[in-house]
Amino acid sequence: MASLNVLILVCLGYVVLLFGVAFAADRLAAAGRSTWLRSPLIYTLSLSIYCTAWTFYGAVGYAARSGLEFVTIYLGPTLVMIGWWWGLRKLVRIGRSQRVTSIADLISSRYGKSNTLAICVTILAVIGVTPYIALQLQSITLSFSIFAEADPGSHYYEGASVFWVAAGLAVFAILFGTRNLDANERHHGVVTAVALEAVVKLVALLAVGIFVVWGVAGGVGPTLDRIDASEIGQWQVDRGRWATITFLSAAAFVCLPRMFQVMVVENDDERHLRTAAWAFPLYLLLMSLFVVPIAVVGLDLLPQGANPDLFVLTVPLSQGQDGLAMLSFLGGFSSATSMVIVAAMALSTMVSNHIVIPIWLSSKGRGAVVSGDVRSVVLYARRVSIAVIMALGYFYYRLSGGGAALASIGLIAFAGIAQILPALVGGLFWRGATRIGALAGLTVGFVLWVYTLLLPGIGGEVMPQSVLDQGPFGWGWLRPQALFDIAGLDPMVHAVMWSLSLNMAAFCIASVLSFPRPLERLQGAQFVNVFEHSAGPRGWSGSAAQSEDLMIMSQRILGAREAQEFFRAQTVEQGGRGGLPEPTPVFLERLERELGGSVGAAAAHAMIGQIVGGSSVSVEDLLAVADESAQLLEYSSRLEAKSSELSQTALKLREANTKLTQISLQKDAFLSQVSHELRTPMTSIRAFSEILRDTEGLGLEEQVRYSTIIHDEALRLTRLLDDLLDLSVLESGQVNLNRARGDLGDVLERSVSTALAGWSNPLIVKRHFSNERIVLYSDLDRLGQVFINLIANAQKYCDAPDPELTITVHDVWGQIMVDFVDNGSGIPSDAQSMIFEKFARVSAEKAGGAGLGLAICKEIMQRLGGDVSYLSGKEGAAFRVRLPKEERAAM
């Protein structure tokens, strides 16, 4: 009897071998020496993951229980391979041209890249496949336990072994399934390991079969006799079940995520399908050849109640054939592990691409796509998804407690996965199929599948018996296994019939009633007419008419002359004299590279793809395009910043220029003003001095009058010149400020008395002395000059009958303001902004200065760091002097 330890050693050795093969295949592929890895044989063998442990062990059990019905499981895929290979070819072509990464991706691409649909398919797949993974784990454990039972000295812990098997498979899938992201990059390591496992399981099953027929039964004749004698030969065939299960297995063969992975995603060359179309049915035939003999002999040999699911193991063991049993164990182990690894890989791609990444992207916002760490996040997401899926399978196994409940899961899973079929096939052949239709069909099918098959079939009393018998709330027509009161059907047939027919009905009706979006239309056309559009399995190809379009596009990107030169060179190289080059794959690839230099590789690929139609834009393309456009955007925004800087400089120059012109105009105006102001007093001085000189006999009184005028005018002249001098000193910034400490009240007091001195009827000044007790540190003379000017203005211009001036000091948070408000009629609002200009006077007739006073005030306050402004809204004229903050000296 083989000890458990030997078995574990063999098993570990086998795993190491698998790792080695996968590793070597990956290395070969990386080195570019992968020709034989891409052979049709490997492709065909990799398809054999269809045969899981459920088929390896289960087919014999199935035959022992239900006779020939097990054949349906092989019949479905055979029919698909032989009878529908053109459909598969279309699937593979689309998969390649659209760079599809999973079945969820395919469905979502077909229906306008809808992520909702992808999520639906992903969820359906996870729910359908998780129990199936659990089933594989169970089969490994069961086969271990067979050896453990036969080896009494062993210490075998079922729970621990499942855990380690699951963990090991997760590590394998992560190591070889998530090396890179590129949809074009095949997982050579995994596929080669799977192909090796396919050989092992076939050899194992054939060996057991040959042993049973020739070693136990004694040849073909006696075996046939045994079959005739057994119950299996007599079993009635239920036609409904036959048809249903054949159909189901056919549907599952196309729709199972793991099958899609090896058949479409991992496909290297469309022509491999041609080989697989006959070789894979042959493989299935060999796999099923000895199922019945093993079942019959097992039933004969082994005691009543022995689990027929394990006959493949127990028959050799019972005959003392330890080596054979070990081989058989490896066959079952291979079936289970290859399925689990590929399924976990396929599901993880779906989960990460359609659930994890969209959530991550939306939580990160746009910046994430630009920053370029997407790739590593995607890889992490896939790895974590694999671990999570394996954990789900493991926990499902632990929770369901294994046992018979799991055995029925295979078909239940098939029925669930088959719900994808209407959306898939409809999408391939019917342009009118829409996203809403697909969603409706999937939802209806999924709900019915869960209700009529999954919940009743899953065991563990998930669905109460009362609901099964009387329907929910006693509604008989809603009984899960007799919908609409159609009772008496086999539960499987019933569930498949209702779920798929209503699924199809919902799909068709909703498609007809809904309106496809533009992208859906486009994708629909690309899918349905893939053979007209696409460029074949490898590279680009186009028609001569497309050269014209390519030329036009290239001219726009490369520039007219460069594009023409490039095209001419290519024509010459192709051996032509003139005209355009043929759009051969070589030419198109070069053009893509040439354009890629200008617009980025992804964008170039997408652009050429748009014209020759060989490939449409995948998510990876879009990410890459987004990446590139982000770079372009950054570059152009830098350019934009530069150009706006330039235009700002230009604007500043223009402003400076206008200012200069204005200043020059002002200077002219100023000069003419000054000469005018000077001439007026000069004229009267000259006139009166002439009178005094030339007029004889002038009376004394007149002499006094005239000389007073001359004196006054001379004074005015002096004042004017003083003011002008003052202003020019202030404006040129050559003033020296003599800052000193002093009291604001005192400055005001001095200013009032100076301003009003000499007036016969000085105006009344109102003040709040208490507010004026503020110590300043400033040029007090200059400040006083401003105050004097304002007070004198009020004296000169206030037109009230009883002129009055109120001086108020405010202190708002350390900001000192002195307001001068009189009770005259004030300054009209249109003149308010202008009075601070030089020579600005509101009314010329009024006796007054040359209009320089306020201009000087403004200059002084500016020098002191404060300002003076007109306060509109008061009744009379109102001015506010704002002292700078630091003017206030510390007490």
Q: Which stretch binds ligand ADP (CB under 6 A): 652-660, 666-674, 769-777, 834-842?
A: 834-842
Whole-number minimum distance, CB 824 to ligand ADP, in Å? 5
Quick one: 272 or 841, whose CB is closer to ligand ADP? 841
Q: Cβ of residue 691: shortest distance to ligand ADP, in angstroms?
A: 28
Pair 430, 454: CB distance under 8 Å: no
Name the residue type at position 122: T
Which region, judged by CB under 6 A, interacts with ligand ADP, from 20-28, 117-125, 536-544, 849-857? 849-857
Shortest Å, Cβ 755 to ligand ADP: 12
Q: Is 881 in the site for ligand ADP (CB under 6 A)?
A: no
Instruction: Name the minimum Å distance from CB 688 to ligand ADP.
Output: 23
Beta bridge partners of 805: 765, 822
Instruction: Give the CA distances from residue 766 to residues 277, 791, 822, in Å, rounded to whole numbers and listed in that order.
Output: 113, 12, 10
Cβ(56)–Cβ(197) below 8 Å: no
Contact 553, 607 (CB under 8 A): yes
Q: Which of 835, 864, 881, 883 binds ligand ADP (CB under 6 A)?
A: 835
Is position 806 an interface residue for ligand ADP (rule: CB under 6 A)? no
Query: How many CB atoms within 10 Å of residue 81?
Result: 24
Tell me: does residue 852 bind ligand ADP (CB under 6 A).
yes
Residue span binding ligand ADP (CB under 6 A) among the ranges 156-164, 195-203, 244-252, 846-854: 846-854
Work out how close the CB of 874 gets to ligand ADP at its nearest, in angstroms, rounded to a whole number: 11
Q: Quick check: 843 binds ligand ADP (CB under 6 A)?
A: yes
307 in Cβ contact with 226 (< 8 Å): no
Could you give the CA distance from residue 891 to residue 887 in angstroms, rounded to a whole number? 12
Q: How far is the CB of 726 from ligand ADP (least distance, A)?
A: 11
Task: For ligand ADP, give the closer residue by CB, 438 or 790.
Answer: 790
Closer to ligand ADP by CB, 783 or 850: give it. 850
Q: Measured from the CB atom, is 435 or 782 closer to ligand ADP?
A: 782
H-state helical runs in 600-733: 601-612, 619-694, 700-732
Q: Which one of 103-111, 647-655, 728-736, 847-855 is the stretch in contact with ligand ADP (CB under 6 A)?
A: 847-855
In the three-class reduction of DSSP (H, G, I as helix; E, B as strand; rest coil), residue 778 is classed as: strand
SS3 844: coil
Structure tokens at 650: 């230009």
798 binds ligand ADP (CB under 6 A): yes
Residue 827 binds ligand ADP (CB under 6 A): yes
Note whether 755 binds ligand ADP by CB under 6 A: no
- With H, G, I as helix, E, B as strand and everything else as coil, classify residue 501: helix
Q: In angstroms, give the least distance from the CB of 797 to ligand ADP.
A: 3
Interface residue with ligand ADP among 283, 527, 688, 797 (CB under 6 A) is 797
Parallel, antiparallel or unpaired: strands 482-483 and 740-743: unpaired
Residues in 627-646 at the binding interface with ligand ADP, rule: CB under 6 A: none
Number of shown-chain residues binding ligand ADP (CB under 6 A) = 22
Minimum CB distance to ligand ADP, residue 811 (Å): 24
Q: 818: which residues sit within 8 A by CB, 6+ positions away?
A: 744, 748, 787, 807, 808, 809, 810, 880, 881, 883
Asked if 752 is part of the footprint of ligand ADP (rule: CB under 6 A), the reply reads no
Q: Out of 841, 880, 882, 888, point to the residue binding ligand ADP (CB under 6 A).
A: 841
User: Could you say which of 227, 842, 871, 889 contacts ligand ADP (CB under 6 A)?
Assistant: 842
Residue number with CB closer to ligand ADP (140 or 864) = 864
In the list 98, 793, 806, 823, the residue contacting ligand ADP (rule: CB under 6 A) is 793
Q: How many angstroms separate the CA atoms of 81 and 221, rounded?
A: 32
DSSP 684: H
Part in contact with ligand ADP (CB under 6 A); list of ranges 30-38, 468-476, 610-618, 852-860 = 852-860
Shortest distance in whole angstroms from residue 723 CB to ligand ADP = 7
**What is the torsion angle, in degrees rounded to the nearest 10, for the CA atoms of residue 579, residue 580, residue 582 and residue 585?**
160
Indicate the burial class of 30 (C-beta count within 10 angstroms; 0-12, 13-18, 19 or more): middle
By the 8 A CB rule, do 877 and 827 touch?
A: yes
Q: Does 853 bind ligand ADP (CB under 6 A)?
A: yes
Nearer to ligand ADP, 280 or 820 (CB): 820
How far is CA 115 from each of CA 107, 123, 259, 362, 875, rounded to the nearest angstrom?
9, 12, 22, 13, 72
Compute the least distance from the CB of residue 873 to ligand ADP, in Å: 15
> Does residue 803 interact with ligand ADP by CB under 6 A?
no
Measure the CA–CA gap between 754 and 752, rounded to whole angstroms.
Answer: 6
Q: Least distance to ligand ADP from the beta carbon of 845, Å?
A: 10
Contact 381, 356 (CB under 8 A): yes
Piece of 142-150, 214-222, 399-407, 788-796 that binds ligand ADP (CB under 6 A)? 788-796
What is d(CA 356, CA 360) in angstroms, rounded to the nearest whole number?
Answer: 6
Residue 586 tokens, joined: 């070589």
Give me the amino acid identity at 69: E
Rounded least distance, CB 849 to ligand ADP, Å: 3
Nearer to ligand ADP, 794 or 861 (CB): 794
Among 26, 582, 713, 822, binds ligand ADP (CB under 6 A): 822
- Look at residues 161, 135, 132 and name the one whose alpha carbon lies nearest to residue 146: 161
Smallest distance from the beta carbon of 759 to ligand ADP, in angstroms?
14
In the chain, % helix, strand, coil (3-state, to 5) comes to: 75, 5, 25
Q: Applying CB under 6 A, which of residues 91, 849, 860, 883 lies at the interface with ligand ADP?
A: 849
Q: Which is nearer to ligand ADP, 851 or 866 (CB)?
A: 851
Q: Which long-range contacts (CB under 8 A, 24 or more apart) does 80-83 make?
A: 80/250, 80/253, 80/254, 81/276, 81/277, 81/278, 81/280, 81/281, 82/277, 82/278, 82/281
Tell me whether residue 755 or residue 798 sits nearer to ligand ADP (CB atom).
798
Q: What is the distance between the alpha carbons of residues 877 and 792, in angstroms, rounded to a whole number?
A: 13
Task: Select from 840, 867, 874, 889 the one that contacts ligand ADP (CB under 6 A).
Answer: 840
401 alpha-carbon distance from chain centroid: 41
* CB of 717 vs ligand ADP, minimal distance in Å: 14
Residue number with CB closer to ligand ADP (78 or 806):
806
Nearer to ligand ADP, 681 or 853 (CB): 853
Residue 759: left if φ>0, alpha if ψ -120 to 50, beta else—which one? beta
Residue range at the interface with ligand ADP (CB under 6 A); choices 235-243, 727-735, 740-748, 835-843: 835-843
Contact yes or no for 105/115 (Cβ under 8 A): no
Interface with ligand ADP includes 791 (CB under 6 A)?
no
Token pair of 459, please?
């065991």
Q: Does 848 bind ligand ADP (CB under 6 A)?
A: yes
Nearer to ligand ADP, 22 or 877 (CB): 877
Query: Which span (261-269, 599-607, 681-689, 845-853) binds ligand ADP, by CB under 6 A?
Result: 845-853
Positions touching ligand ADP (CB under 6 A) are 789, 793-794, 797-798, 822, 824, 827, 835, 840-843, 848-855, 877
